Amino acid sequence: MKGDWLKLIRPLGITLLILIVLEIFSTALVPMLGLTKYRIPFNILIILYLGFKLETPYTSLLIFVLQYTHSFFSIEGWEMGTIAGVIICIVISYLKDLLHLSSSIITIFITQVFQFLWFVIVSVLLYLKEDNFSYIVEKFWRFLPESIAISLLAPFFFGILDVIWRTETDRSLGESV
């Protein structure tokens, strides 16, 4: 366990590089296409991947690092996303035996369900902070197309992250990441 965190540094660094590139794409190029109100939340997709595929005691720290990196590109703070991500990963850990990402359709559906749960958690936190429900309703209508886009990208993206984090080969060898 002492050196386990060392095995996480390289895949985390590559994942952070991918996140930064995708955040630049989402914040700079998507608005150039005329979609100024929409941002694709790749950070949520990465955190869902960590919850589904990794079994490490450092998941909360990984979520914090990903959310902190995401906060450089967003006006949303890292704290609400970190809280939501940790809660989601706890829920996933309890349901892991029931959830199997065995096909693209199932991966898309489960990703959509957990994105909705993410939205509910963040909305509750925003409501507690702002006491303004109208912003949450407005945010929901932007959330729908963003979450559908992320869900459709999930099978492809999870495949890339499987290679980076080596989850499939490690499972076949009986090792844990």
pLDDT of residue 40: 82
- Rounded to two decimals, the pTM is 0.86
Amino acid symbol at 166:
R
CB-based contact 96:42 (threshold 8 Å): no
Query: What is the band of 60 on the pLDDT scale with cuts at 50, 70, 90?
Result: very high
CB-based contact 47:61 (threshold 8 Å): no
Query: What is the band of 160 on the pLDDT scale with cuts at 50, 70, 90?
Result: very high
Query: How far is the C-alpha of 134 from the C-alpha of 37, rounded, in Å?
Result: 16
Within 10 angstroms of residue 54's Cβ, the number of other Cβ atoms is 19
